[in-house]
Amino acid sequence: MNKTKIAVLVSGGGTNLQALIDAQKSDIISSGEIALVVSNNRGAYALERAKNAGIKSAVVIKKECIDQYDFEQKIIDILEENNIELIVLAGFMSILTERFTSKYDHKIINVHPSLIPSFCGKGFYGLKVHESALEYGVKVTGATVHFVNEIPDGGEIIMQKAVDILEGDTPEVLQKRVMEQAEWIILPLSVEKISKQIQSKRR
């Protein structure tokens, strides 16, 4: 059975990409394979991770495109050339329009570092999410893997995992714990789950 072809879209260090590469090596992801990494930043360390793992990569820079439409079309062309069936946003710092998300309906997933619907939506990314959780004084946070639609963090939830907030946590410490105890666990499991579903629909 042909594995589901996965593209991972990245902008930075690629720690979530690494978690996926490791999960593929250890067979946690067995129904899909990462066939492509696309970055909107030439200096992203994630590209180095892709190279080290022998995964094909491509770079599309928004500033070098005419507009958002052109930027998204260039990404779509690359995805189609590589027969991509599932897209994983792993720290991809660019909002995709409805034109893009509706084309890949229920084929784009993202990991968000909170328990949606808390601390999510426009402006909530990176450390800001953890800063807000600490400011608010919640005792439990976590991560959510969800489908991507035109509303930031608005798509249907696939998996969630809770992480305790501890006395003396800083946003940086909390970010690391959420990655290690939640993101790096549920993202590979979700990728496997959706890859398997896509595979079975092909039959």
Catalytic residue numbers?
Answer: 112
Cβ-based neighbours of 97, under 8 Å, separated by 6 or more: 68, 69, 72, 150
**CA 32 – CA 95 distance, rounded (Å):** 25
3-state percent breakdown (helix, strand, coil) of the chain, nearest 5: 40, 20, 35
65: DSSP letter: S
- Residue position matching structure tokens 């991972």: 8
Q: What are phi and psi of 127, to 5 degrees?
A: -65, -25
**CA 39 – CA 117 distance, rounded (Å):** 28
